[in-house]
Structure 1
Amino acid sequence: MQKLPLGLATVLLGLPLLLPEATLAQKRIPKLPGNDQCPLGYVNDLKQHCNSPIYYQVKPTYGKPCDSGWMNIGAGYCKKKTLWIF
């Protein structure tokens, strides 16, 4: 097994700390009014929130279509598309 140079390993491990906070995604989101289910990728906690083991960047749709680069995941939320993966 090849070892990464120390500088490269430091950059890779520190990269998430360099990202602006606005781009961080949500693992726990509130259920929106009128929705008793959770969006795709989230699990109902049987209270007022939905939880996901994966970080997704989501935003409410407010009853409008999702912006370009975002996809509708149901329950009133849009998820940001990452690369070519949905």
Structure 2
Amino acid sequence: MIGPAEIEDMRLVLLASDERARLYDAALAPLNRHWERRGAASVGSVSQICELVFARAEDRPFAEWKAVVTEAVEQAGFGIVWNGDAVASLESRG
């Protein structure tokens, strides 16, 4: 039988998943706009960056979306330059 503690644990997991999804969506929006305008290096690099953003979004507050993007992009071997909340440039460092 599931008790109140287990139900609360499930609720907290769902809330954390929702927050992670919101951060992921916010983080990918400027990257997607940049890739639409200028293209992406490759499908593989886009997939890698998306996976890294998702991984880094775990347990991070929504307000850190830009830091999550920057860290993920750098870990994937790219440099990123911001113009406010828009990606000004994204270039391979390899």
**TM-score, normalisation: structure 2:** 0.31
Question: Relative to total residues, which structure has the larger strand share, 1 or 2?
Answer: 1
**TM-score, normalisation: structure 1:** 0.33
Question: Relative to total residues, which structure has the larger helix share, 1 or 2?
Answer: 2
